[in-house]
């Protein structure tokens, strides 16, 4: 699958303090590659404050609070999320007040200049209490899967250079999740660069800072930026409290800060 969105307006960005651990529960953030001291590195761009900062992945937990709790709709297209009415936590593709809005981008200046065509984003495993999925709403409102923790690993998607994308991040069970991710690209000089490290998320009640604790069996690999990650499982049957107001319409065009984003997708061969 290839994902393409229009450019963000340029803003000043600074590096975050290297030891500053943060939990981000509202506002806009992006996952993406950068060249840090000349080395290809996955980081999180934090737009929730002023100035905008790029943070090391190991210092960030993205939290889906109780405001992200919804019920699985009756539409059969969403049965992969669980039984209709089951409680799930969803960080939506379209921004909602009080809910964190994570996306992914390949817009770092040096990345856009040096990468040849696209970045390959791979999911190697998920360590968490339940099923994790990432999907897009298609032009007709139907879900288009990107990642699913129940499917074989690794899974991958292509992200065109100099683009910015948002999707729906879902968690079937509350708790902390560790996503074993890598981003790889061929540069215009013919060399290949890659980085692999964990992304931490927390859904529902509990202490989101628990996600900073290394998963059992993953600590050694995490030090090298390559954690050992298991696969979550389990589906709740409890009925959630919130509707899905963001479903039913096309998410192909999203207005953000006066900028129109056009979403284009193509399944990889």
Cβ–Cβ under 8 Å, residues 54 and 13: yes
Distance of alpha carbon 237 from alpha carbon 12, whole angstroms: 46
DSSP per-residue codes, 153-186: SPEEEEEETT-EEE-EEEESSSEEEEEEEEEEEE
Q: What pLDDT is attached to residue 213? A: 86
Q: What pLDDT is attached to residue 81? A: 94
Span 181-208, pLDDT tens digits: 999 999 999 999 999 999 999 999 999 9
Q: What pLDDT is attached to residue 18? A: 56
- 175: region left, alpha or beta (phi > 0 left; psi from -120 to 50 alpha): left
DSSP state of 58: G
Q: What pLDDT is attached to residue 232? A: 38
Q: Which two tokens stand for residue 209?
A: 């800072």
Q: What pLDDT is attached to residue 138? A: 74
Q: What pLDDT is attached to residue 16? A: 57
Sketch the domain layout of the chain as residue ranges: 2-266
Q: What pLDDT is attached to residue 19? A: 67
Q: What pLDDT is attached to residue 13? A: 64
Q: What pLDDT is attached to residue 12? A: 53
**Residues in the chain with pLDDT < 50?**
2-11, 216-246, 248-269
The stretches of the chain forming alpha helices (DSSP H) are 109-114, 219-223
Cβ–Cβ under 8 Å, residues 57 and 30: no
Q: For CA atoms 27, 263, 35, 158, give the dihedral sign.
A: positive
What mean pLDDT is reported for the chain? 80
Q: Which strands, in side-by-side order, build the sheet including 87-91?
A: 69-71, 87-91, 168-171, 132-137, 143-148
């Amino acid at each position: 699958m290839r994902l393409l969105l229009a450019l963000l307006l340029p803003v000043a960005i600074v590096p975050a303090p290297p030891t500053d651990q943060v939990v981000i529960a509202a506002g806009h953030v992006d996952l993406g590659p950068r060249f840090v001291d000349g080395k290809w590195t996955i980081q999180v761009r934090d737009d929730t404050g002023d100035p905008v900062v790029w943070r090391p992945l190991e210092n960030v937990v993205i939290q889906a609070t109780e405001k992200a709790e919804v019920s699985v709709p009756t539409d059969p297209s969403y049965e992969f999320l669980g039984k209709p009415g089951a409680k799930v936590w969803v960080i939506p593709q379209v921004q909602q007040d009080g809910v964190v809005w994570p996306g992914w981008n390949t817009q770092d200046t040096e990345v856009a200049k040096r990468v040849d065509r696209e970045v390959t984003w791979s999911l190697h495993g998920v360590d968490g209490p339940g099923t994790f999925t990432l999907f897009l709403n298609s032009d007709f409102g139907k879900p288009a899967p990107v990642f699913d923790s129940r499917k074989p690993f690794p899974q991958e998607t292509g992200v065109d250079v100099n683009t910015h994308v948002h999707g729906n991040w879902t968690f079937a069970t509350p708790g902390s999740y560790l996503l074993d991710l890598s981003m790889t690209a061929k540069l215009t000089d013919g060399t290949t660069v890659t980085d692999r490290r964990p992304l931490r998320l927390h859904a529902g009640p509990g202490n989101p800072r628990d996600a900073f604790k290394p998963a059992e069996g993953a600590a050694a690999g995490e030090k090298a930026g390559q954690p050992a990650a298991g696969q979550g499982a389990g589906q709740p049957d409890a009925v959630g409290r919130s509707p899905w107001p963001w479903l039913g319409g096309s998410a192909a065009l999203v207005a953000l800060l006066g900028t129109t984003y056009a979403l284009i997708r193509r399944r990889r061969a």
